[in-house]
Chain A
Amino acid sequence: MQVPAPFEYERAESVQHTLALLERLGDDARVVAGGHSLLPMMKLRLATPEYLVDINDLRGELGYVVVAEDMVRIGALARHADLLGDEALAAVFPIFRDAERLIADPVVRNWGTLGGSLCQADPSEDLTTVCDALDAECVITGSGGERVVPMAEFHQGPYETAVGDAELLTEVRFPVRPGGSSAYQKVKRRAGDWPVAASAVAVWLDGGTITDARVALTAVGVEGTVDVDEALVGRPPSEEAFAAAGALASAASDPVTDARGSADYKRHLAGELTVRALRTAVERALTSTPTSTP
């Protein structure tokens, strides 16, 4: 079996302790949460940190999912299984359950965390896209306090994030606006596989008209959201409108051919899955009772 190169292990007891450790250990330190992205990289010796700071004991501090009227706040140590099982979260953002059902597998979901997924910053990672579609903001904590970074600035390229050496992603915030819903559609070759492509959609309606829509794509070479306003905003939901939005998503994508699929196919999927996600999200928005917060 492949094994990691040697390193020193530190176990953090609190956010403040984590920051102190990171400050002391410098840029040779990596934070480990669930470890299901980092440890395989370390076994392959693609990652060789000198120090590993285990933050799993911070679960009491950072393992929360708080659904409030205007804002959802999720601690960075919330596990995939937590996000999948949270009924309040599913009511507001059904996209989380859509996505989490298809991320890795149930055992991995017991340990993998939201923060770990975002900080690994794999271009094929699902939750980044979900966060993009939901217009999330990331709370990054350093010794000088917190700073809030929008998703658009959080990722700075594959495997690169805005989190500095002595900083920790502590929370992700999601604004809640009335009249909306969301959905995630993904194609993969097999359960547990990374996506061939996926589409995350959030949509808001008012009186039968689409007022806003956000579309983000996974694994097709697009960062951030795709502008689909032209196709959807100000229009009633229709197959034609969805198709137009799908066409925009396809056009925006810039995938590569690899073992998961041809570039043509992935470009097609960007559109097809966007259409399907729009159908679901709009149906959800229309069937949720108008008085409740979507």
Chain B
Amino acid sequence: MTATPETTTRPDRQRRQTEFEDNDQKPVGHGRMLRKEDPRLVRGRGRFVDDVQLPGMLHLAILRSPVAHARIVSIDTSAAQAHPKVKLVVTGEMLAEKGLAWMPTLSNDVQAVLATDKVRFQGQEVAFVVAEDRYSARDALELIDVEYDELPAVVDARRALDPSMPVIRDDLEGRTDNHLFDWETGDAEATEAVFARADVVVTEDIVYPRVHPAPMETAAAVADYDRVDGKLTLWSTSQAPHAHRTLYAIVAGLPEHKIRVIAPDIGGGFGGKVPIYPGYVCAIVASLLLGVPVKWAEDRTENLTSGSFARDYIMRGEIAATKEGKILAIRTHVLADHGAFNGQASPSKYPAGFFGVFTGSYDIEAAYAKVTAVYTNKAPGGVAYACSFRITEAVHLVERLVTSLALEMGIDQAELRLRNLIKPEQFPYETKTGWVYDSGNYEATLRESMRIAGYEELLAEREEKRARGELMGIGVSFFTEAVGAGPRKNMDILGLGMADGCELRIHPTGKAVVRLSVKTQGQGHETTFAQIVAEEIGIPPEDIDVVHGDTDNTPFGLGTYGSRSTPVSGAAAALVARKVRDKAQLIASSMLEVSVADLEWTKGSFHVKGDPSAAVTIQDIAMRAHGAGDLPDGMEGGLEAQICYNPENLTYPNGAYICVVDVDRGTGEVKVRRFIAVDDCGTRINPMIIEGQVHGGLVDGLGMALMEIIEFDESGNCLGGSFMDYLIPTALECPDWETGFTVTPSPHHPIGAKGVGESATVGSPPAFVNAVVDALHPLGIRNIDMPMTPSRVWDAIQGHPRPPV
């Protein structure tokens, strides 16, 4: 490992052809390899939570509030209880008697499992029914009569702190307003001083509207409590099964060893399956009360109206520069809408997540941010949808500001970035807000994206089109991500340190099983982790079974989100394999009767230096380790190891994105013609999977940029409660994504890898917006908020832009 970035470039587009041509090779380790999880999934033989059928299983359905803010006057469940197929009806009052009406959120707030006093958002859980089948459970919901005394709803975050507003969280003692927290970072005074002497200052009001991860599979759980042995087995759509188990132990009062959380195949998560939802707890309570398995599966409306939302940041950003285009400072004030309960899933010491990286990829002199967070009568959440703990918001802010500055100064967007990017020799680079970026070769990455795009030709084409009155736009963004939380001393969730366990066992015949604490929701862990181990120990990936998503059978760790699997658990897998290899080397030395120092490792075997014929394979060693033959003095049998990896720093993947759009001036429709993404995620383990991760993030970005939004009316009714209203891109809106890469290894990661799962979701939205802004700039437009629907683009062209909230 070296601290000097080694950067190589090669576009994926060219690779693709070669990869298909020589696919008779099989990598023992890193390289393109088809996924181990696919054979079952393409046969329809995955096992998702709603596929779980247990004997005697009952079905749970949840009654939700139709209003955003109201006192509960009364709940009459008698008709529902009289339904012939209903086994149980539970209200908040009944849960309160058992001390289960409230549960902790991941941000040390509390959230109602079922409402007792008030409902605080439309869609909040009010009661649940358990019945013999899912249809009857739904029918019985209609028989519950709830009387609400409606209260004014706090919908506009800008007005949440007005003294006239009702106090949403009157359940919290001493609470007299809707203020949640103030958080600041950077140096306000130093920043003000730099702004005062800057030649150019550009200010933008940028709204990052509320959106939703909306995985294709909604949240679901099957709780099965065995009254005889007192053990609860919970199949659930969890991105973090171990953290969930610990929290269930705390909430439900069950001993932790009597809880087994199984996260089977998961139909996408995107952060939406990090929190514990009341529905999971309801299923557990029902199984505890009834002693039979109980299944809960939320419908799409429940998912969109009550599941974890993302973003909802109202930002004012300022950027200061010299007249030569040297960026000097960035400053921002943010109003954060956290909904009715602070359910944000991020490390405890980071109430605004990792928003502190808002200085982006630029070498600047000063920076300051202040975030004010408020409660509103909306669903809780805040960190979801592949946001890397709010780096999406931070990157959007800085990348929108940089393009605004470029347009204001008449400097090309790419050129302005090239002048200001952190230089390779400046790494490790400490930002003005205290983040230490590990490595990067930003200029090479940006130039690679410009090369693939044919940037100069695009600029010329844009000018030709402008001359004809056509609206073509080019958008550039450059992002730096910060992924792979911990270190554990800085980062914890509810006191649980963000480190990951990993266990590797080599069987006597040289096959292996590796057990992870993280859990795939589609990222391909079963393949990538087999490859990581294969690379280190030389066993073919197909001979390595990857076990994950079952707390009884895997070591403790904090789960998959924030792009942390490869940076943290990937490191753990590499190191545990090296630990095993170290032991294997001792055994090899005794088998070959030479000293350890005289052995040389080639992937899969040790041989005597200078004599390749005197060799033992890892398989030979595994048999010896389990056999009856001699082992080195004092060595125990077996060939296995366990580790808990605590990262010393985050990893900082980065990338340069270029978007090309055409805007129909008459209808405001935006057509994304091309999108070029060049990512640097350090060492690339499986290029096919990496490309897939990037593609997935790009479509997220396109969705947010063009169509996705969770809106509310003035009464707090959610206007995005179904897939008729919450639009997700189809194949027809997406261009054929063009990808490339550079490789700058992380100096502190054992194999130099960085995370990549969220890079494109984080980095692409500003590229889309910058492209549309670039197209509309000749009409005097410098900013437009997402989602850039035809109407909102046309309204902006008319000079009447409508903020999304």
Q: Is residue A13 within 8 Å, beta carbon to beta carbon, of the partner chain?
A: no
Is the CB–CB distance between A189 and B789 below 8 Å?
yes
Is A239 engaged at the interface, CB distance under 8 Å to the other chain?
Answer: no
Chain A residues closer than 8 Å to B706, beta-carbon distance: 189-190
Assembly CA distance A193 to B720 (angstroms): 13
Q: From the candidates B142, B729, B730, B791, name the one contacting A262 in the complex (CB within 8 A).
A: B791
User: Is the C-beta of B628 less than 8 angstroms from some C-beta in chain A?
Assistant: no
The smallest beta-carbon distance between A184 and chain B, in angstroms, is 14
Q: Report which of B134, B138, B666, B707 forms a contact with A190, defined as CB distance below 8 A.
A: B707
CA distance A294 to B391 in the complex (A): 59
Q: Which B777-805 residues sit within 8 Å CB-CB of chain A?
A: 789-791, 794-795, 798, 800, 802
Q: How far is it, in angstroms, between the C-alpha of A277 and the C-alpha of B767 when the chains are bound? A: 33
Does A196 reach chain B (CB closer than 8 Å)?
Answer: yes
Provide the bound-state CA to CA distance between A194 and B723, in Å: 12
Minimal beta-carbon separation of B313 from chain A (angstroms): 21
Within 247-268 of A, Cβ neighbours of B (below 8 Å) are at 259-262, 264-266, 268
Question: Would B730 and A272 count as touching, CB distance under 8 A?
Answer: no
Taking a contact as CB atoms under 8 Å apart, the answer to whether B666 and A6 are in contact is: no
The CB with the most chain B CB atoms within 10 A, among A2, A193, A259, A273, is that of: A259
CA A2 to CA B707, docked complex, whole Å? 25
Interface string of A42-86 (1 = CB under 8 A from B): 000100000000000000000000000000000000000000000
Q: For A266, list chain B residues within 8 Å (CB).
A: 791
Q: In the complex, what residues of A have CB within 8 A of residue B467's CB? A: none
* Interface residues as binary, B700-735 with A (CB distance below 8 Å gives 1, 0 otherwise): 000000110101000000011000110101101100
Within 8 Å CB of A268, what residues of B? 794
Shortest beta-carbon distance from B181 to chain A in Å: 31
A187 touches B134 (CB 8 A): no
How many A-B Cβ pairs are below 8 Å?
A: 69
CB distance from A41 to the nearest CB of B (A): 11
B669 at interface, CB cutoff 8 A: yes
Would A190 and B669 be within 8 Å (CB), given that A260-B791, A262-B795 are in contact?
Answer: no
The complex places the Cα of A261 from the Cα of B706 at a distance, in Å, of: 13
* The one of B135, B138, B667, B727 that contacts A269, using a Cβ cutoff of 8 Å: B667
Bound-state CA distance A190–B726 (Å) is 11
Q: Is the CB of A5 closer than 8 A to any CB of chain B?
A: yes
**Docked-complex contact A259 and B790, CB < 8 angstroms:** no
Closest beta carbon of chain A to B394's beta carbon, Å: 28
* Shortest Cβ distance from residue B453 to the other chain A in the assembled complex, whole angstroms: 26
Residues of B within 8 A of A259 (CB): 709, 711, 719-720, 725
Name B794's contact: one of A105, A191, A194, A265 (CB within 8 Å). Answer: A265
Q: A residues within 8 A CB of B142?
A: 5, 45
Q: Once the chains bind, are A187 and B667 in contact (CB under 8 Å)?
A: yes
The answer to whether B299 has its CB under 8 Å from any CB of chain A is yes
Pair A2/B301 contact, Cβ less than 8 Å: yes
Which partner residue on chain A sits nearest B725 by CB separation? Answer: A259
- With a cutoff of 8 Å between Cβ atoms, the chain A residues found around residue B299 in the complex are 1-2
- B138 near A196 with CB under 8 A, answer no
Flag whether A3 is at the interface (Cβ < 8 A): yes
The answer to whether B790 and A191 have CB atoms under 8 Å apart is: no
Nearest CB of chain B from residue A262's CB, rounded to whole Å = 5
Hey, which chain A residues are within 8 Å of B790, CB to CB? 187, 189, 196, 261, 265
Which A-chain residue is minimally distant from B727 (CB atoms)? A190
Asked if B668 is at the interface (CB within 8 A of a chain A CB), the reply is yes
Partner of B795, one of A2, A187, A264: A264
Q: Is the interface of A mostly helix, strand, loop or mixed?
A: loop
The residues of B that contact A158 with a CB separation of less than 8 Å are none
Contacts of A191 in B (CB 8 A): 730, 732-733
- Could you tell me if B724 and A265 are in contact, using CB atoms closer than 8 angstroms? no
Contact status of A5 and B139, CB under 8 A, knowing A259-B725, A264-B800, A265-B794:
yes
Q: Mark B644-677, 1 if CB is under 8 A from A, else 0.
A: 0000000000000000000000111100000000
| Complex: A261 Cα to B711 Cα, angstroms | 13
Q: Shortest distance in angstroms between B708's beta carbon and chain A's nearest beta carbon?
A: 10
Confirm or deny: B297 has a beta carbon within 8 angstroms of a beta carbon on chain A: yes
Q: A190-B730, A191-B732, A196-B790 are in contact. Are A262 and B711 (CB under 8 A)?
A: no
A157 within 8 A of B: no
Residue-wise interface mask of A (114-151) relative to B, using a CB-CB cutoff of 8 A (1 in contact, 0 not): 00000000000000000000000000000000000000
Cα distance, A259 to B721, chains bound together (Å): 12
Interface residues of A in 192-226 (CB under 8 A from B): 192-194, 196
Complex CA gap A281/B727 in Å reads 31
**B802 and A262 within 8 A (CB):** yes
CB–CB B795/A265 < 8 A: yes
Contact in complex: A272, B795 (CB < 8 Å): no
| Chain B residues, CB < 8 A from A6 | 139
How long is the Cα–Cα vector from A82 to B81 in the complex, in angstroms? 49
Report the minimal beta-carbon distance from B722 to chain A, rounded to whole angstroms: 8
Q: Which residues of B contact A1 (CB under 8 A)?
A: 134, 297, 299-300
Which B residues lie within 8 Å of A262 (CB)?
A: 791, 795, 800, 802
B733 / chain A contacts, CB cutoff of 8 Å: 190-191
Question: Other CB < 8 Å A-B pairs besides A1-B134, A1-B299, 19 of them?
Answer: A2-B300, A3-B138, A105-B730, A189-B706, A189-B707, A189-B789, A190-B707, A190-B733, A191-B730, A191-B733, A193-B727, A196-B790, A259-B719, A262-B800, A264-B795, A264-B798, A265-B791, A266-B791, A276-B666
Residue numbers of A with Cβ under 8 A of B are: 1-3, 5-6, 45, 105, 187, 189-194, 196, 259-262, 264-266, 268-269, 272-273, 276
17 contacts between A and B (CB under 8 A): A2-B301, A5-B139, A6-B139, A187-B669, A189-B727, A191-B732, A191-B733, A194-B724, A259-B711, A260-B789, A261-B789, A261-B791, A262-B800, A264-B800, A265-B791, A265-B794, A273-B667
Q: For the complex of A and B, list the 8 residue pairs with the smallest distance between their C-beta atoms, beginning with the closest.
A: A261-B791, A191-B732, A265-B791, A191-B730, A190-B727, A272-B666, A2-B299, A3-B135
